[in-house]
Amino acid sequence: MNHPQGKIAALLAMTGALCMAGANAGTFPDFGFAPPKTAYPGGTQLFRLSQDYPTVAPGSSSMPAFFKQLPANFNNDFETWRSYMNEVKKYCLEGNTEVNWNVQKNKVRQWYHMPWQHYGPYGREGFHGLTKEAPIQPSQLASTQTGSGQTYAVGIYNDIGAYTIGQVWKDPQNPDPSYTSSPKSFPNGTVVCKALFADIDVSTVPFLVNPVLWSAYTTTDFYSTKRQVTKVALIQMDIAVRDTRVKDTGWLFGTFQYNGAVTGKPGWDNLVPVGIMWGNDPKETGNNFTNPTPTETKINRALKQTAINANTKELPPTHLGWNGRLNGPVDNPQASCLSCHMTAEYQQLAIMNPTFQASPPPVGGDIWMKWFQNIPAGQPFTPGTQSTDYSLQLSGALANFYDWKCNHSGIYADGINACAKIQTLKLMKASNAPEQEVQKVQRSPELEDLE
């Protein structure tokens, strides 16, 4: 798109002023897309980034109480995990639902957001800080769902994880991902909770009866940059728990799915467990349980590191992940919770799934299974990079920051940008990283003129 020079300069100045002002003050922008003032009454508080990160590592008293609920023996019978999952859900929701996820007002425990998710076309909107996640395909959620849609989400970290976020971003102009890369990682007791909402016709999805609806400033469809105020429905909540007792990966990932028939009225209590996983079952290479358009939930009993809720009266039919590994209803049925998140690194050279390329490898083959290995906490997926320890939010935040810094700001009179000027900068591509195409951060087409 061709913009008048004055408009480009004004946009550049506005972007630079917004980001630099926050960074110099040790704070970060709240959101990137402000809804029109006519969409909210005067005095209504828009989203505010919870960014007062702890400067001292939380002590043992901060360890979540649900850690005592971890089963002594891990197995794929979900009933072994039910009480644990219920307690994690309570931990995530307690004090947050009462304040509509305005987590700074939580009177039970403190929660924090990841900075630098305001940037780019997927960036945070101003009502609830939701970022655009993924498209929803027809029949992905239910056989009656004929239309497409999109997913928006907001994630929060407890104080243990937020301490590490604060260390990474202690110098807002030079973030340091070494705090999450081996021999370091997110500390034991880190908890991440992510609420996901669907921009979908809820009348076509039976389990979205009695929906929890939020106002959101979303794009008109997943591939558009035009925004509008709409209603999105709570559909899923993901949890991630860093636990050093978990061998192979050091993480537990769980998912809850909305089912409005549970209570018969709108509410977060309608989130029912889908399952939990602590490994990718790297020896299981079959494909018989992959189920992208579900009419039933296909549970693969051969998986030993995933436990799926078998209660069909509670859990609506759902597609799960590749060959029955854990994933939620709005997630990729060719992936798993762990397989996507273990690719989190800086610089982000890895794609999140083997299907995200022009010529995907054979399903279940050696190359395919690289995405379904078990990687220890803090170990990067790509040799020569730094791990962001299963946090795609952190890897995305770093990519956003350096895209802004190196491509849209800091241009000197000689035309060389700030990143090229700083020869000592160690956060760009590692010298021993394999030669491959770097995944370009997606931006609004309007920003292309700024390069």
Three-state SS at 419: helix
How far apart CA 68 and CA 56 sit, in angstroms, is 24
Residues of the domain holding 55: 5-450
Structure-block tokens of residue 359: 């010529």
Per the CB < 8 A criterion, the answer to whether 138 and 148 are in contact is yes
CA within 13 Å, CB half, 249: 26
Q: Which among 148, 155, 329, 152 is positioned nearest to 231, based on CA atoms?
A: 152
User: What is the pLDDT at residue 13?
Assistant: 32
User: What is the pLDDT at residue 421?
Assistant: 64
How far apart CA 119 and CA 46 sit, in angstroms, is 17
Domains held by the chain: number: 1
Per the CB < 8 A criterion, the answer to whether 205 and 144 are in contact is yes
Q: Which helix (H) or strand (E) holds 84?
A: helix 82-93
Residue 441 amino acid letter: V
Biggest CA–CA distance in the chain, Å, is 67
Q: What are the strands, taking DSSP E only, across 207-329?
A: 213-219, 227-242, 251-258, 271-277, 306-308
How far apart CA 287 and CA 276 sit, in angstroms, is 20
How far apart CA 307 and CA 275 sit, in angstroms, is 5
User: What is the pLDDT at residue 446?
Assistant: 36
User: What is the pLDDT at residue 40?
Assistant: 86
Phi-psi region of 98 (alpha: psi -120 to 50; beta: other; left: phi over 0): alpha
Query: What is the CA 238 to chain-centroid distance, rounded?
Result: 9
How far apart CA 162 and CA 127 sit, in angstroms, is 22
Structure-block tokens of residue 332: 């990729």
How far apart CA 24 and CA 21 sit, in angstroms, is 5
User: What is the pLDDT at residue 430?
Assistant: 37
How far apart CA 238 and CA 134 sit, in angstroms, is 15
Q: Which among 441, 404, 413 is positioned nearest to 14, based on CA atoms?
A: 404
Tens-place pLDDT, residues 98-141: 999 999 999 999 999 999 999 999 999 999 999 999 999 999 99
Residue 155, C-beta contacts closer than 8 angstroms, at least 6 positions apart: 113, 114, 192, 193, 194, 195, 393
How far apart CA 49 and CA 116 sit, in angstroms, is 10
Phi-psi region of 264 (alpha: psi -120 to 50; beta: other; left: phi over 0): left
Buried b (16+ CB within 10 A) or exposed e, 107-135: eebbbbbbbbbbbbbbbbbbbbbbbbbbe
Residue 159 amino acid letter: D
Low-confidence ranges of the chain (pLDDT < 50): 1-26, 423-451
User: What is the pLDDT at residue 419?
Assistant: 76
Tens-place pLDDT, residues 50-101: 999 999 999 988 999 999 999 999 999 999 999 999 999 999 999 999 999 9
User: What is the pLDDT at residue 12?
Assistant: 33
Q: Which among 292, 289, 286, 280 is positioned nearest to 319, based on CA atoms?
A: 292
| DSSP bridge pairs for 85 | none
